[in-house]
Chain A
Amino acid sequence: GAVVSQHPSRVICKSGTSVKIECRSLDFQATTMFWYRQFPKQSLMLMATSNEGSKATYEQGVEKDKFLINHASLTLSTLTVTSAHPEDSSFYICSASPSGGPGEQFFGPGTRLTVL
């Protein structure tokens, strides 16, 4: 089956620093990748849709200047949390679609971000 990896799996950083999270599709090309955020005991909230070679589409309420998304190739998308603050602490999950239907989304294992 299709595999999506994320790196790092866990990161702890100081307030004010920037953190980059990578999402890779290992055995397929992903024209579209999605970034989600999950708070404890809550649902996965879509943050943005990342399209290879074009700008990401952000959901309402998500600051695009704070959460920078780059989809430079068909197998890699990165999410950079700029000037992180404690309220940005969360579980970030990416998913990738090999341009199939909605059931074709494959999720990464997630990244736990803790901002001190």
Chain B
Amino acid sequence: DQQVKQNSPSLSVQEGRISILNCDYTNSMFDYFLWYKKYPAEGPTFLISISSIKDKNEDGRFTVFLNKSAKHLSLHIVPSQPGDSAVYFCAATFWGGNEKLTFGTGTRLTIIP
């Protein structure tokens, strides 16, 4: 039972344009969401997070949007840079959930120079 889903396994975006990565979840208990970036043979690195009391969180080139009614979140990267090429995972958890993260299946983002 995949509670966190990323339906696009891959995405290619021109350098300088906006990259939009999507994530859907099914468990309404989730109230905290995170995006991680991962290079091959490395552990994930934290990018940005959002609590369910917000619908938007921005950090530099990265913005995460949360639509609770649709159980959907998205990560916007603008402008996209070649160094952004990686696999992006969304993850979800809930306070009181012993900090356990449930990860999506990942989206491989390729930035085309």
Contacts and interface: CB of A to CB of B under 8 A. Distances in A.
Contacts of A101: 32, 95, 99
A109 B102 contact: no
A106 B45 CA distance: 7
A36 B102 CA distance: 11
A43 B103 contact: yes
A19 interface: no
Given A42-B105, A43-B105, A44-B89, A106 B99 contact: no
A112 interface: yes
Main secondary structure of the interface of B (DSSP, over half): loop
Nearest to B94: A102
B106 A46 contact: no
A35 to B, nearest CB: 12
Contacts of B106: 41-43
Given A32-B98, A46-B102, A49-B98, A107 B34 contact: no
B51 to A, nearest CB: 9
A107 B93 contact: no
B103 A105 contact: no
Interface centre among B36, B41, B97 (most CB of A within 10 A): B41
Interface of A: 4, 6, 32, 34, 36, 41-46, 49, 57, 91, 93, 95, 97, 101-110, 112
10 contacts: A34-B100, A41-B106, A43-B4, A43-B89, A43-B105, A49-B100, A95-B43, A101-B32, A107-B44, A109-B41
